[in-house]
Amino acid sequence: MNLLILGGTVFLGRTIVECARDRGHAVTLFNRGKSAPQLFPDAKQLHGDRDGHLDALVGQRFDACIDTCGFVPRIVRQSAQFLSSLVDRYVFVSSLSAYADLSPKGTDEDGALGTLDDSATEIVTGETYGPLKAACEREVADAFDERAVLVRPGLIVGPYDPSDRFTYWPWRVDRGGQILSPGRPERGIQLIDVRDLAGWILDLLEAGVAGAYNVVSTPDAITMSALLHACREAASNEGQLIWVSDDFLVRADVTAWTELPLWIPEKDPAARGFFRFRNDRAVAAGLRFRPLEETVRDTVAWVRTRSPDHAWRGGLANEKEREILKAWLRKA
């Protein structure tokens, strides 16, 4: 296949490019040339800006476009409409957050999507991120109809993740000591390895399949305890996992998901179904999952190559973790 990747040098885009090239597909990257421009020096790269500067794509023809970096409907509309006659299919990477209601358990692809209170907003926040993704989906569907592939992943994890969300856990456990472990150990979580997601997207394109898909691990297949024990197996230190209750963490003003990635208080009604999405359609279309231990091991290996003074974007500050653990152990 002849593939166009919008972006292509950061995390999922980078992984898709690597996977596609390994499979022998022709790959063209379209981006601004600002993020990791040293990657893929022998690949065809076209530079421009998807917000009004798509001229470099004039006269090009592709079997498919993969859009990993669309967040604003107005901008996605430009690329989707511009490319509607130049590519056969358009893959838009959306999010499970696009659903209007995250409280029901077992949401599938027919669940209602979110809407914006202010349809003109282009500011991405915790509140607007999901509805903006949903609006982007609608732009792609309007332009490509049955040729649209709408991919709704959960938390994407693995090497080269710039968000530091999942990565915090392998890194923190690798440091050892007393490790604040949140909530109920056997609570199920959902995630997807970036390499499994990238390979599956290419599988869909190779099979000529379209449609909308939840792309995430099977509910209850992974627990928080399993994740942290996998981190311990991969770690260079024998850390001590200390499980702290949801209620205590809430009283300690810990920010769910951001300060403790993959943790959301179970009593939060708005997020009760967040780790219970159905993935039947994606699994039927060939989605497979590598062992959690492999994901953790490879993430640890990558984290160890980072600068020691890396400014973390997610995770609990050292001092705050120590204070919470001190108070929890004193209470116990």
Amino acid 91: pLDDT: 98
User: Residues with Cβ < 8 Å from 241, sequence gap 6 or more?
Assistant: 179, 181, 228, 229, 232
Burial of 272 (0-12, 13-18, 19+ CB in 10 A): middle
Q: How far apart are CA 59 and CA 86, in angstroms?
A: 8
Distance CA 207, CA 291 (A): 25
Confidence (pLDDT) at 238: 83
Mean pLDDT over each residue of the chain, to the nearest integer: 96
Confidence at residue 236, expressed as pLDDT on a 0 to 100 scale = 83
CA distance 328 to 310: 29
Checking DSSP bridges between strand 191-193 and strand 155-157, what pairing results, if any? parallel
Long-range contacts of 184-187 (CB under 8 A, 24+ apart): 184/224, 184/243, 184/246, 184/266, 185/223, 185/224, 185/225, 185/243, 186/223, 186/224, 186/225, 187/223, 187/224, 187/266, 187/275
For the CA atoms of 163, 167, 171, 172, the dihedral, rounded to the nearest 10 degrees, stands at: 90
Q: What is the pLDDT of residue 116?
A: 94
For the beta carbon of residue 42, count every other beta carbon within 10 angstroms: 6
Could you tell me which of 230, 236, 234, 223 has the C-alpha nearest to residue 177? 236
Q: How far is residue 31 from each of residues 5, 34, 231, 266, 280, measured CA to CA in Å?
A: 9, 8, 35, 40, 34
Amino acid at 246: D
Helix (H, G, I), strand (E, B) or coil at 161: coil
pLDDT of residue 269: 86
In this prediction, residue 223 carries a pLDDT of: 98
pLDDT at 282: 98
143-198 pLDDT, tens digit per residue, is 999 999 999 999 999 999 999 999 999 999 999 999 999 999 999 999 999 999 99
DSSP secondary structure letter of residue 153: E
Tell me how many degrees the CA angle 197-198-204 measures, rounded to the nearest 5.
85
Name the band, by pLDDT with cuts 50, 70 and 90, for residue 237.
Answer: confident
Contact criterion met (CB below 8 Å) for 5 and 36: no
The pTM of this model reads: 0.96
Start-to-end Cα distance in the chain: 60
Question: What is residue 117's predicted lDDT score, i.e. its pLDDT?
Answer: 92
Three-class secondary structure of residue 107 per DSSP = coil
Domains of the chain from N-terminus onward:
2-153 (3.40.50.720), 168-189+220-274+292-331 (no CATH)
Give the model's pLDDT for residue 332: 76
Residue-wise pLDDT tens digits, 66-117? 999 999 999 999 999 999 999 999 999 999 999 999 999 999 999 999 999 9
Q: How do residues 116-146 score in pLDDT, each as one tens digit?
A: 999 899 999 989 999 999 999 999 999 999 9
Summarised one tens digit per residue, pLDDT across range 262-292 is 999 999 987 789 999 999 999 999 999 999 9
